[in-house]
Structure 1
Amino acid sequence: MSSVPPRQQEIRVLSPTAILGYGFPMASFEAGLALQPDVIAVDAGSSDPGPHYLGAGYSFTDRDAVKRDLGIMLRAARRHDIPLIVGSCGGAGGQPHLDWTLQILLELAREQALAFKLAVIDAEVDSAAVMQALRAEQIAPCGEWPALSEEDVHGSTRIVAQLGVEPFVEALSQGADVILAGRAYDPVVFAALPVLRGFDHGLALHMGKILECAAIACTPGSGSDCMMGVLRHDHFLLHPLDPARACTVASVAAHTLYEKSDPFHLPGPGGVLDLTGSRFEQVDARTVRVSGSRHVPGAYAVKLEGAARVGYRTISIAGVRDPVFIRQVESIVEAVRARIADNFSDIHPDSYSLLFRLYGRDGVMGALEPRPDAGVHELGIVIEAVAPTQQLADTICGFARSTMLHYGYPGRVSTAGNLAFPYSPSDLKAGEVYRFSVYHLLPVDDPVARFPVHYEQVQPMVRRDLCA
């Protein structure tokens, strides 16, 4: 008579850091390993740094920092024979970002003489496929984003999709020891193993939503420290691995609301995470229990993110402390704009943009600043020019800087110069400028077939080429 193996009662997920490359204390990581995790999972990217890294094709995280983190995780995962899962590789999760992370991983495998089954999941979407879906009227805006145009698609350097949990579950079911994936819905790298093993989908995703930023959901919070999630069949537990931190009901519930416009319904690939019945309870001084979260299946769609180049940027940073200048700063800015328009009358004003950011007054909030005149005694001014070429951006920024430096305003006392520059050269070439051109939903019939998993058996001390 055959025996049925007992149902696994819990899964322990170790989240070492908020983003691969942000670092973590070894003491916290070792404390997590001592608790015998079933999987090490980490989110490696975000759209928070803006569209530049997606469009330009390189990471916003440092290579040496990523190699340090990844090396520690890889060595621990192989030593404990548990999976290592990395999502949104290279920051933006496009093909060059995935290849970059893969190069680091294979370099580590050679250096550490490690063998493992590797799964690679590409999240980049061909623009022709997006165009086909657009012409078939299948693409919808995400939130308040405007309707997608063919010009947006053609102008995009690359387009990625936020992968759902299904390709990760497929890779784990095929025995992958290490999974590297392009852009992914943040919670799924933490939810994949629990979903594979039959744990509640909603609880798994909610736990992943919190673990994605590791110890940021603690008090005090940190993006470079470890967190442990323990998922059971009707709840999950969260606790930090640094004794100086604690999970509280307030810190965990607050992080649940992080980056969400609706506090109760969190849409993602394949459905909505419904938090209307979620309950947060303090178990002990450092641990929180969460229950009642549900996943409501729906039409399957992935969020597309695309970036298009709009030009080149040059900036100049200056400081002002003259109260007479500060009182007249709006009229001075407008006078500088007028001088540029007159001097470069042969250049259409729509072909470039010129911004003046006034830090110390409203540089962060801009027009939304509620107290623009609250005791300002000095301003930091960032002059920014964006134009179709770097040369034109240099020209516009340089002329704006020199004009403002020597502009004669009423009540001016000194004629030596109005601005103080912290840097020489004063004008800094910032290079290519991108905008988010695609932020839309693409329906997908089969998320595994649409985003196939590529496997490779990595052998120790053997130099490998990049996966296809």
Structure 2
Amino acid sequence: MEELKIVALNGCLGYGYEVKSLEAGLALAPAMVGGDAGSTDAGPYYLGSGTALVKREQVRRDLGQALIRARAARVPLVIGSAGMAGGEPNLQWVREILVGIAREEGLHFKLATIHAEINKTRVRDALRDGAITPMDDVPPLTEDAVMGSARIVGQMGTEPFARALAAGADVVLAGRSCDTAIYAALPIARGYDPGLALHMAKIMECGAQCGIPLAPNDSLLGVIRKDHFLVRPLAENRICTPDSVAAHTMYEQGDPLTIHEPEGRVDLSEAEFEQVDRQTVRVHGSKFIPTPRYRIKLEGARLLGYRAFTIAGVRDAAVIQNLDVIADTVRAAVRRNLHKGIADGHFNLEFRYYGRDAVLGDLEPLRHIPPREVGVLIEVVAADQLTANYVLSLARSSFLHCPFEGRKTTAGNLAFPFSPSDTAAGEVYEFSVYHLMDVNDADTSLFSIDYEQV
């Protein structure tokens, strides 16, 4: 084929998109419509708990509009990282929504469901075999971390998607995936240059976020040819420019000239970006360099405890000046007033001061400038919810009435925006696995595929 067209729905399934944009893309007879449905950006909770950041109504709207129109156009629909984290509960949640839409709309199609959750024993065995490498700034993996994880997923590359599409799937629903794999699998399978395909996919995975005005909640068209590719927004009020597309090429990249994927890396040092028309940018020069060993990223989450927190405001200069003194005093008061059986090691008490240094902490360069007002977040994570609630209540009351040198008022130090002031936030997860695992790229058992007629 001289060219292959792909439509990206948006930056994340559930964020919304203009239906007119999708229809404009389908009118161009694309080979595929794709959608990225997940990320680790929202933290480990969604992997550990098996729930989604976006709500059912959001996913149902975006998935329904795309499914109905893709089936009418006889175009494959490919969704990756289903349910945000891409674990088995996340994947099945989206599948349930998908099948429900099909029943309501009377749709018939072949569905491929690609599983990304990996057995913990398999990861432990790989660790014993020396096949696990930490990501940057991540400690070495331990067997306790592996076996203590609620679940572990692997971030699949292009191969499982290509396999599902080659088997004639009309709809592909995948667990945790590399964002690029969703869009690069079909072009690579059809013989297009992998460097161009992966680079185009890197730009497409966020929808029209590479456009102006920036819009992760709108659709983008990608067209790949022998020696270049084109990208343009599918809404008339948006444009792409060489700067906007080049900028998004560097999005979430540690090295601005390299894209790392399981299949290899893309060298961008000779990539060029050119304006073709008002909306469209042409890109060429991206070079693919195969990896000496095939690796996939593992993501695992384990239960850390249970959270309780309160939020309050401070607009008293004396209180703001003494925030660190107050925090130390509160910690000591909490220790003194805990009932027997609860020790420091049973909970973690933290204070964050928004408006002073909550984002950067000790790295905040303007910490010496007194803020006019500060938002105070008091957070407790403990082994159970009752302990978290109890410690938070002690900390909040101690902070509210904490004395300090020069204090003139007997009123409280905190202004609460809500009543009740305290929130029991439930389970807290942390990443327990964030490592690379060496695998055989011909091993199709890692990401198994189920086929069914819906």
Distance 1:416 1:403 in 2: 13
Q: 1:315 corresponds to which residue?
A: 309
Q: How far 1:144 sits from its partner (Å)?
A: 2.3
Q: 1:466 corresponds to which residue?
A: none
Q: 1:328 corresponds to which residue?
A: 322
Runs of 4+ deviating beyond 4 Å: none
Q: How far 1:375 sits from its partner (Å)?
A: 4.7
Which segment drifts farther, 119-128 or 28-37?
28-37
Q: 1:252 corresponds to which residue?
A: 245
1:219 to 206, 209, 212: 212
Distance 1:246 1:368 in 2: 38
Equivalent position SS for 1:50:
coil
Equivalent position SS for 1:180:
strand
Q: 1:5 corresponds to which residue?
A: none
Equivalence map 1:105-254=2 (5 Å): 105-254=98-247
Distance 1:68 1:233 in 2: 36
The amino acid of 2:303's aligned partner reads R
Q: 1:3-45: CA deviations, max 9, x gaps? A: xxxxx11111111110001001122222222222211000000
Which segment drifts farther, 116-125 or 374-383?
374-383
1:291 to 284, 293, 303: 284
Q: Decide whether the 8 Å contact of 2:321 with 2:370 is kept in 1.
A: no
Q: How far 1:129 sits from its partner (Å)?
A: 0.3
Q: Decide whether the 8 Å contact of 1:169 with 1:192 is kept in 2.
A: yes
Equivalent position SS for 1:76:
helix
Equivalent position SS for 2:444:
helix
1:439 to 420, 426, 434: 434
Q: 2:447 corresponds to which residue?
A: 451
Provide the aligned length of Structure 1 versus Structure 2: 451
The reply on whether 1:278 has 2:274 as its aligned counterpart is: no
The reply on whether 1:350 has 2:340 as its aligned counterpart is: no
The reply on whether 1:93 has 2:89 as its aligned counterpart is: no
Q: 1:178-198: CA deviations, max 9, x gaps? A: 000000011111112111211
Equivalent position SS for 1:450:
coil
Q: How far 1:231 sits from its partner (Å)?
A: 0.8
Alpha carbons of structure 1 residues 83 and 26: separation in structure 2 relative to 1, 3 Å: same
Q: Decide whether the 8 Å contact of 1:166 with 1:447 is kept in 2.
A: no
Distance 1:141 1:382 in 2: 32
Q: 2:416 corresponds to which residue?
A: 421
Alpha carbons of structure 1 residues 25 and 341: separation in structure 2 relative to 1, 3 Å: same
Q: 1:463 corresponds to which residue?
A: none
Q: Decide whether the 8 Å contact of 2:221 with 2:232 is kept in 1.
A: yes
Q: 1:53 corresponds to which residue?
A: 46
Q: Decide whether the 8 Å contact of 1:18 with 1:216 is kept in 2.
A: yes
Q: How far 1:292 sits from its partner (Å)?
A: 1.1
Q: 1:412-454: CA deviations, max 9, x gaps? A: 2331211111111101011001100001111111243321221
Which segment drifts farther, 331-340 or 444-453?
444-453
Equivalent position SS for 1:77:
helix
Q: 1:4 corresponds to which residue?
A: none
Q: Decide whether the 8 Å contact of 1:164 with 1:447 is kept in 2.
A: no
Q: 1:25-80: CA deviations, max 9, x gaps? A: 12222222222221100000000000001001111111011011101111111111
Q: How far 1:344 sits from its partner (Å)?
A: 2.7
Distance 2:138 2:264 in 1: 20
Which segment drifts farther, 273-282 or 227-236?
273-282
Distance 2:414 2:113 in 1: 52
Which segment drifts farther, 303-312 or 441-450?
441-450
Equivalence map 1:342-421=2 (5 Å): 342-344=336-338, 346=340, 347-421=342-416
Equivalent position SS for 1:166:
helix
Q: 1:333-391: CA deviations, max 9, x gaps? A: 11111111222385332221111110011112222212123351000000000010111
Alpha carbons of structure 1 residues 380 and 457: separation in structure 2 relative to 1, 3 Å: same
Q: Decide whether the 8 Å contact of 2:325 with 2:404 is kept in 1.
A: no
Distance 1:71 1:438 in 2: 34
1:261 to 239, 254, 267: 254
Distance 1:281 1:338 in 2: 62
Which segment drifts farther, 205-214 or 238-247?
238-247
Distance 1:79 1:447 in 2: 35
Equivalent position SS for 1:385:
strand
Q: 1:387-411: CA deviations, max 9, x gaps? A: 1011111111111110011112223
Distance 1:92 1:183 in 2: 6
Percent sequence identity over aligned pairs: 50
Which segment drifts farther, 336-345 or 38-47?
336-345
The amino acid of 2:321's aligned partner reads R
Q: Decide whether the 8 Å contact of 2:335 with 2:344 is kept in 1.
A: yes
Equivalence map 1:13-28=2 (5 Å): 13-28=6-21
Q: 1:301 corresponds to which residue?
A: 295
Which segment drifts farther, 422-431 or 345-354?
345-354
Q: 1:243-281: CA deviations, max 9, x gaps? A: 222111111111111111111222211211221221111
Distance 1:266 1:32 in 2: 27
Which segment drifts farther, 343-352 or 40-49?
343-352
Distance 1:352 1:375 in 2: 31
Specify every segment of 5 or more residues in structure 1 that has no aligned partner in the other structure, as ranges.
Answer: 1-7, 459-468
